[in-house]
Structure 1
Amino acid sequence: MRHLAIATAVAASLSAWSASNATAQTPVDYPHKVVTLVTHSSPGGGSDVFLREMAKHLPKYIKATFIVENVQGGSGARAISRLATAPADGSVFYATTPTYIYTSLLSKTQHSYKDVEPLVNFFTDSEVIYTRTDGPFKTLKDVIDKAQVSRGRWGAANPASLERQAAEQLKKAAAVFPAVVSHEGGGDLMINVLNGTLDIGVGEIPELRPQLEGGKIRLLATFDPQRMEAFPAIPTVKESGYAVVLEKFRGLAGPKGLPPAITKIWDEAVPKLLADPDYQKVYKAESLVANVIPHDKYQGFVQNFGSVTEAFLKESGVLK
C-alpha cells in the first residue's frame, strides 16, 4: 500500500507538472499565420542572427510562422521604408538597433525612425573590438600605439551604426586619427580584418562566434560598462584607459498604429520567451543580456535615445 501511495503521488505530481508545462508551452492565437521579420543586416550579421535564432523559439509562445527578410541598402534606410509602408496589423516587424537611429539622423531618408512604432525590446548587446589572431596586436594599447605612429585602419559594419560611432568615439578619447572604414555588413568587415586590411573591427559576439570558436580572431576589449560574463578576461575600453561606454539595444518595431491587441500579445510573450531555458542557452552563449522594455516604455526609450544621439552628433560636429 505504501508503494502504491508513493507511485500515486509521483504520478499525480508528474501529471500536474505536465499540465503546467503544457499550459506554459501553449502558444497564444495570432491573427496571422506568417509574420515577416525584416532586418537591414546581411545574412550572418548581428540582427540577422538575432532574428533567425528568435524565430526558432517564438512559435512556442505566439502561434505563427516567423520568416526573416533581409532588406539591405542605404545603411538600413531601405529596411525602414519597407516597415513604414507595411500594414500596421502585426504581420511585419523590423529588428531595431541603434543603426536605425543613426541612419535617420545622418542620411536624408524617405522614412526615419520617427515614422515607425517601437514594439518591445529584448536584449542589451555587447560591442567588442577584435583583431586577427595571427596579427601584431595583443592588446588595445597596441592598436592605439600604432595609430599614434602610422594612423592605421579600423573597421565598422556600416556608416550609420553604433559600431561606427564606437570607433569614432574611441578615436576621440585616445586622440588618434585612424581611418574608419565602413562596410555594408559584418561579413565583409570580418574578411578585411582576417586578411590584414584592417587593424581591428568593432562588432558583436553573435556575428563573431564562428571565427572566435575557430581561433581566427582575438577579442581586445568591450565597450560594455563592465566585463562580459562569458569573457571575463577581456577588459573594458574604459578600464583600458579610454572613457567610452556603449551598449546596443535589440528589439522590434512595427508600422505606426499597431493595434493594442497585437502589442499586448508581444508584451506578454517576450518575457516568457526570454525565460525559456532552451532559448536562454542560445542567447547567453552570444553574450546577450535580457532587457525587456515593454511597448508603452520602449517608445519613450527610443525617442530619448534619438534625442541624446542627435545632441552628441551636433556637439561633435557631425551634424550641423
Structure 2
Amino acid sequence: MSVSVIRLRRSLAASLGVLVIALLAFSCGPGAEYPSRPVELIVPFGPGGAADVAARQIAELASEELGESIQVRNVTGGGGAVAYNEVVNAPNDGYTAIWSSAALNTLAAAGNIDFNYEAFEHVAIVSTETVTLAVAADSEWENLEDFIADARNRTPTVGNSGMGSTTHLTAVALAEEAGVEFEHVPFGDGLAIASVMGGEIDASVQHPAEIMSQYEAGDIRILAITSPERIETFEDVPTAQEQGVDVVLEQWRGISLPEGTDEEVIQRLEDAFTQAAETDEWAEFTRNTGADVRIMGSEEATEFIADMQQQIDEIAAAAEEN
C-alpha cells in the first residue's frame, strides 16, 4: 500500500472523527434532551387567587404537551417583585419559569424592580383580561358617561387592587383621558368590590375574576370595560372607547424565562404552552373567569409586552403628576 493511500485514509478517518464529534455536540446541545426533569412555574401571587388558578390550569394542560410535569410554586411579596427577582437570577436552563403578567410592566414603571421585561425571554402569552369599572347595582350611574359627568362636579372615590397596580393605573388613565379627577383607594385583590356594595366607595376598577360572582348575582353594575372591543362574558357592557373615553388597557398572562435561555428550549416551551392554550379546556376556563384566549408566540408576545411597557410608563408618569 502506497504512502499516499495511507495518508489519504488517515486524513479521511480524522475528518470523520471531527464530523462525529460535531454531530454529538449538536445532538447534546442545551435543547437536545429538554426537558429531562420537571419544570417549575413560579406564580408571583398567593394560592387560590385568579393568577394562581389560571397558572395551575395552563400548567396541567402544557404538561401533557411537554411530556414532563410543570410544577407550580407560589412566591409572594412586593406585589410580585420577590418572584420576579428570584426568576431573573435563576439559571437560564429552562427549568425555572414565571407566570408573568402586566405586573412586570407596572413593577418596572414604579421602580419596584431594577430591571424590566428585557431581562426575560418571553415564551408565550396565553390569555388577556379586560379591566372593569363597576359600581353598586342600585347606584345612580347607568354608564361611564354618567360617572364622568358626576366627576366633573365632585371627586369620586375609586378602589383598586393596590397603588401602582394595573387596576390603579387603569383608573388613572380613565380619569386622565376624561379630564377629571378620582380619589384612588387601594385595597387587596377583590376587596374593593365589597366596599362598593357597602357604599364606602363609589366605584372599583378590577379584573373580571375578582367581581364575577357579584356581577352574576346582580349586586354590581359594570359601567365600562377597557378592552378594544366588547367581550362575550360582558356582551352588554360597552367599552370605554364606545363611551368617548379613549382608553384600551388589558391584563396579559403568559410564561417567561430568564434572559439567555437557549432558543431550542424556548421553542419547546412555546409549542407546549400555545398548544395547551388551543384546547377546549383552556377556552372553557378563560370563559368562566371572564378572560379571553389570546395566543402569542415568543416574538409576538415580546413585542406586545414592550408596547405595554411604554403605555404603562406614560400612565405611571401621569399618576405621579396628580
Matching residue of 1:132:
136
Tell me, yes or no, if the aligned pair for 1:30 and 1:64 is still in contact at 8 Å. Answer: no
Match of 1:274 among 274, 277, 301: 277
The structure-2 alpha-carbon separation of the partners of 1:193 and 1:34, relative to structure 1 and needing over 3 Å to count, comes to farther
Q: Secondary structure of the residue that 2:86 maps to in structure 1?
A: helix
Matching residue of 2:298:
295
Q: Supply the distance in 2 between the matched residues of 1:308 and 1:244 (Cα, whole angstroms).
A: 11
Matching residue of 1:103:
107
Aligned-residue identity in percent = 24
Matching residue of 1:318:
320
Q: 1:79-94 maps to which residues of 2 (within 5 A)?
A: 79-94=83-98
Match of 1:121 among 125, 140, 144: 125
Count how many residue pairs are aligned between Structure 1 and Structure 2: 289
Matching residue of 1:195:
198
Q: Supply the distance in 1 between the matched residues of 2:79 and 2:55 (Cα, whole angstroms).
A: 18
Q: Secondary structure of the residue that 1:129 maps to in structure 2?
A: strand
Matching residue of 2:250:
247
Matching residue of 1:49:
53
Q: Secondary structure of the residue that 1:236 maps to in structure 2?
A: coil
Q: Supply the distance in 2 between the matched residues of 1:275 and 1:37 (Cα, whole angstroms).
A: 20
TM-score (norm 1): 0.79
Q: Supply the distance in 1 between the matched residues of 2:182 and 2:288 (Cα, whole angstroms).
A: 32
Tell me, yes or no, if the aligned pair for 2:124 and 2:274 is still in contact at 8 Å. Answer: no
Q: Supply the distance in 1 between the matched residues of 2:112 and 2:231 (Cα, whole angstroms).
A: 36
Output the aligned Cα RMSD: 2.6
Matched, 1:143 2:142: no
Q: Supply the distance in 1 between the matched residues of 2:198 and 2:72 (Cα, whole angstroms).
A: 30
Moved more, 193-202 or 98-107: 193-202
The structure-2 alpha-carbon separation of the partners of 1:211 and 1:308, relative to structure 1 and needing over 3 Å to count, comes to closer
Q: Secondary structure of the residue that 2:152 maps to in structure 1?
A: helix
The structure-2 alpha-carbon separation of the partners of 1:283 and 1:151, relative to structure 1 and needing over 3 Å to count, comes to same
The structure-2 alpha-carbon separation of the partners of 1:216 and 1:63, relative to structure 1 and needing over 3 Å to count, comes to farther
Matching residue of 1:18:
none
Matching residue of 2:13:
none
Cα offset for 1:32?
Answer: 5.2
Tell me, yes or no, if the aligned pair for 1:75 and 1:160 is still in contact at 8 Å. Answer: no
Letter in 2 for 1:68: V
Matched, 1:223 2:214: no
Matching residue of 2:238:
235
Q: Secondary structure of the residue that 1:61 maps to in structure 2?
A: helix
* Cα deviations by residue, 1:148-195 (Å, 9 ceiling, x for unpaired): 333121012222322222101111122222211223x42333333333
The structure-2 alpha-carbon separation of the partners of 1:44 and 1:57, relative to structure 1 and needing over 3 Å to count, comes to same
Residue segments in structure 1 that go unaligned for 5+ positions in a row: 1-28
Tell me, yes or no, if the aligned pair for 1:131 and 1:201 is still in contact at 8 Å. Answer: yes
Moved more, 69-78 or 120-129: 69-78
Q: Supply the distance in 1 between the matched residues of 2:74 and 2:194 (Cα, whole angstroms).
A: 20
Tell me, yes or no, if the aligned pair for 1:125 and 1:204 is still in contact at 8 Å. Answer: yes
Tell me, yes or no, if the aligned pair for 1:270 and 1:292 is still in contact at 8 Å. Answer: no
Q: Secondary structure of the residue that 1:186 maps to in structure 2?
A: coil
Query: For the pair shown, which has the larger CA radius of gyration, 1 or 2?
Result: 2
Cα offset for 1:208?
Answer: 2.4
* Cα deviations by residue, 1:274-312 (Å, 9 ceiling, x for unpaired): 221222221233343333222234334333432444355
Letter in 1 for 2:56: R
The structure-2 alpha-carbon separation of the partners of 1:296 and 1:60, relative to structure 1 and needing over 3 Å to count, comes to same
Matching residue of 1:153:
157
Q: Secondary structure of the residue that 1:187 maps to in structure 2?
A: coil
Cα offset for 1:37?
Answer: 2.3
Moved more, 168-177 or 280-289: 280-289
Tell me, yes or no, if the aligned pair for 1:171 and 1:178 is still in contact at 8 Å. Answer: yes
The structure-2 alpha-carbon separation of the partners of 1:197 and 1:33, relative to structure 1 and needing over 3 Å to count, comes to farther
Tell me, yes or no, if the aligned pair for 2:169 and 2:316 is still in contact at 8 Å. Answer: no
* Cα deviations by residue, 1:61-80 (Å, 9 ceiling, x for unpaired): 12333343333332322121
Q: Supply the distance in 2 between the matched residues of 1:153 and 1:222 (Cα, whole angstroms).
A: 18
